[in-house]
Amino acid sequence: MDRSTESNPEEASIAPFVHIRGGGVSVVADTSGGVPAIIHWGRDLGDIELASVADALALPVPFGALDMVAPLTIVPCHGDGFAGPPGIKVHRNDGTSWAPRFTAMSVRHPDSTTLVATAADVVAELELTTTVGLDRHGALTVSSTLRNTGEGELWVDALDLALPVSRDAAEIVSFGGRWGLEFQSSRREWSGGSSISETLLGRTSHESPPLVMVGTSGFGEWSGEVWMAHLAWSGNHRVGAVRLPDGRRYLTGGDLLHPGEVCLAAGESFTTPPLIGSFSPNGIGTASRRYHRLVRSMAHRAENPRLRPVSLNTWEAVYFDHDGGKLRSLADRAAAVGVERFILDDGWFGARRNDQAGLGDWTVSPDAHPDGLDPLIQHVTGLGMSFGIWVEPEMINEDSDLFRAHPDWTLETPGYPSVRGRGQLVLDLARPEAFDHVLTQLDALLEDHEVEYVKWDHNRPLVQGSDASSRAGARRQTLALYGLIDELRARHPGVEFETCSGGGGRIDLGILGRTERVWVSDCNDALDRQVIQRGTSLLLPPEVMGCHIGPPTAHTTGRTHPLSFRAATAMFGHLGIEWNLLDCSDRELDDLASVVELHKRHRELLHTGDVVRFDPSDDAGMAGGVYSADRSEALVSYARMSSGASLTPPPLRLPGLDADALYRVTHVAFPSETWGMASSHPAWPAAGITLSGAQLSGHGLQLPTLLPERAFVIHLLAG
């Protein structure tokens, strides 16, 4: 019998091997053991006889090892003799069922891009269903559901997923950061062992974003084979890369559970968050863009595609000073410079005159807004802008009506002193009464006011959070968050949501399945933002990345930058303003208006094109931008980050364009733009230059000498 399933996917139930394909990627899985083992994830193999893949890659049994090679399944099992960290850790009250071994029950291959395999352990009384799918752009998604088929309780301590990669993956990039400096990357040789990143802070976190990348030696933006894995989950997690003693390598990820957090009664199930992998045969850029296309294909975006409006957020302009006259004047100036959405940040509700009170009371404060919000909203919409508002529904202050009425609704552990953050406690949304209370208040807010946008914040970690049953409640809190946003979206389908968590503390594809935008960082310092946005762009396309022009002196760092650098940095995202325009001179307002107009001119390209990044060619520069899908247009920025060892930057080389096309290259000038000291600069920026795509890739384009912390932007248009 031909064991290939290419000709008739429905026949997969009788074949041990399954081949799924999409977006130039092949995944070959061995399903004979019940839990699929991926034996190839990489370049498209074409129409092949699948048994030949297994025959070609069969491992020898080395001396001193077990008599068989334990399979590297999507959920690795200790009971199979697997030498690495087990993907499944479970037990019953009597300590049994702790090392399951599964056998195949059924395999479904309903189409050329999907595999669903169900396995069982009749001794441990467990059933495990694993789903593998490739989208049309080549993004690989895996998840598993564990069901307790026995009579007694089953405690789940871990259910982690594995995506095997080639042994040629010789280097690893991991991601870290902190508040105000998110998505920082670190690269090293992957010579052995494991590299694991995890968080137990109850959110995606600033410190450990759930993303890992490996590749062949020296891989870059445009070269080398690259594998990435991202866990689409907004709570506690573990991701990383593991190298086994026999040389096999894999990426891993899963929900990081507290002790006793998940207990399955008879018939109950536990489903992992999706682990999403991306492979590229030609560098980081292709792997990154698979994630971008996945984000753009999410239902709430695909059904309502539109260019992202320029916004103004009031936080750094007024903080808690919600004077009606000041807010209306701010709105006047915002509209005058071309802003399309006005977002009222923290301070409009309850007793919220500072950050120690009011959270939990989502009703308009008569102190801050004695006539309600409608006069301000009408003023804003009368200026042609839409209105947005800030909330932080997962938190509660002790100085609030809600806490005074229900102090037992907090997510903490009785008998211990409260662990506060920013004067806040966490509201237990998994408690039905608390969930319903918040839903009712937010539903009324959106029903009673012309609000088109909600900035949803989450400003503190979750620590020692026990639910009403005294068990760890972090996972249920994350699921309740998802349920709350889902219900609000169902009731108010015209309202858009932004995810913020002290800036970039909740950036993942789980929350992005429910929101239109992320607030990338609380830091608006353009120098730091260049690095933060570059790291974030590995996962997210520009139109969902909130990038704001802040004041000349950044509130978070104290560094001062000209408008040209701040604007060129914020240009490559969802543009916004976080600047008190009431302090601006007429010249500054005119310059800002010209920046907004410039962004709108290029917005369709920025928000629909392919993100490109260029490998550093010197020690002081950072370059990247956006190409249109058909490569007929591009917008590219070179940022001078520091003085560097060279007096002048090297020629900027732009790979990936149409080699035969002729491009008209022009300098995009920003207000207040200055270059570095030089007796002469290249002549081409004054009048433009026409070069072929082959030239731009082959010899590049010399840029002028630039001062540190300045940017130079070019536009390319094929003739």
pLDDT in tens, 286-338: 999 999 999 999 988 877 777 899 999 999 999 999 999 999 999 999 999 99
| Residue 48 neighbours by CB under 8 Å, 6+ apart | 4, 6, 19
- What is the token pair recorded at 440? 């009712």
- Specify whether the CB–CB gap between 46 and 75 falls below 8 A: no
Domains of the chain in sequence order: 9-297 (2.70.98.60), 303-608 (3.20.20.70), 612-718 (2.60.40.1180)
Contact call for residues 148 and 266 (beta carbons, < 8 A)? yes
| Both tokens assigned to 184 | 């920082």
Q: What is the pLDDT at residue 617?
A: 81
* 402-447 residue pLDDT tens: 999 999 999 999 999 999 999 999 999 999 999 999 999 999 999 9
pLDDT of residue 193: 86
The pLDDT assigned to 3 comes to: 34
- Residue 184, helix vs strand vs coil: strand
**Which residue bears the tokens 């240009």?**
571
Q: Which residues pair with 347 in a beta bridge?
A: none
Residue scoring higher pLDDT (248 or 305): 248
Q: Give residue 455's pLDDT.
A: 98
Is it the case that residue 62 has pLDDT exceeding 90?
no
Q: What is the pLDDT of residues 493-504, one digit of tens each?
A: 999 999 999 999
Spatial distance between the Cα atoms of 211 and 191, rounded to a whole number of angstroms: 20
pLDDT class of 6 with cuts at 50, 70, 90:
very low
Q: What is the pLDDT of residue 38?
A: 97
Taking 70 as the threshold, does the pLDDT of residue 369 lie above it?
A: yes
| Residue range 560-576, pLDDT digits in tens | 999 999 999 999 999 99
Q: Which of 604, 665, 596, 654 is nearest to 629 (CA)?
A: 604
Cα 696 to Cα 652: distance, rounded to the nearest angstrom:
8
**E strand or H helix at 372:** none
pLDDT at 621 over 80: yes
3-state secondary structure of 77: coil
pLDDT value of residue 9: 41
527 in Cβ contact with 561 (< 8 Å): yes
CA distances in angstroms from 527 to 112, 495, 504, listed in the order given: 46, 33, 17
Q: What is the pLDDT of residue 14?
A: 47
φ/ψ bin of 710: left (φ > 0), alpha (ψ from -120 to 50), beta (otherwise): beta
pLDDT digits (tens, 9 = 90+) for 11-30: 434 469 999 999 999 999 99
Per-residue pLDDT at 616: 85
The confidence score (pLDDT) of residue 12 equals 39
Bridge-based pairing state of the strands 574-577 and 311-313: parallel
pLDDT value at 584 more than 50: yes
Residue 467 contacts by C-beta under 8 Å, 6 or more apart in sequence?
A: 411, 428, 430, 431, 473, 476, 477
Distance CA 107, CA 129 (A): 10
Q: pLDDT at residue 7 above 70?
A: no
Q: What is the mean pLDDT of residues 621-646?
A: 96
- How much of the chain exceeds pLDDT 90, in percent? 92
What 3-state class would DSSP assign to 35? coil
The partner residues of 658 in beta bridges, in order of sequence, read none
Candidates 497, 378, 515; CA nearest to 442 is 497
C-alpha 518/C-alpha 496 separation (Å) is 11
> In whole numbers, what is the pLDDT of the chain averaged over residues?
95
Which amino acids are annotated catalytic? 457, 522
How much is the pLDDT for 300?
83
Please determine, for residue 211, whether its predicted confidence score (pLDDT) is greater than 60: yes
Cα 236 to Cα 336: distance, rounded to the nearest angstrom: 44
Q: Are strands 171-178 and 262-264 parallel, antiparallel or unpaired?
A: unpaired
SS3 31: coil
User: Do 246 and 59 meet the contact criterion of CB atoms below 8 Å apart?
Assistant: yes
The confidence score (pLDDT) of residue 307 equals 85
Give the CA-trace dihedral at 397, 400, 402, 404, to 10 degrees: 100
Instruction: Give the residue carrying structure tokens 């009431």.
Output: 582
List pLDDT tens digits, range 151-206. 999 999 999 999 999 999 999 999 999 999 999 999 999 988 899 999 999 999 99
Token pair recorded at residue 696: 């731009």
Confidence of residue 385 (pLDDT cuts 50, 70, 90): very high
Q: What is the pLDDT of residue 306?
A: 76
Residue-level pLDDT at 13: 45
The closest alpha carbon to 155, from 77, 80, 93, belongs to 93
User: What's the DSSP call for residue 672?
Assistant: T
What distance lies between CA 445 and its chain's CA centroid?
28
552: Cβ–Cβ under 8 A, 6 or more apart, which residues?
Answer: 560, 561, 562, 563, 566
What is Dmax (Cα atoms) for the chain?
Answer: 84
Tell me what the mean pLDDT of segment 474-478 comes to. 97
Which residues in 554-652 belong to E strands, given as ranges? Answer: 574-577, 610-614, 621-627, 633-640
As a whole number, mean pLDDT of residues 119-128 equals 97
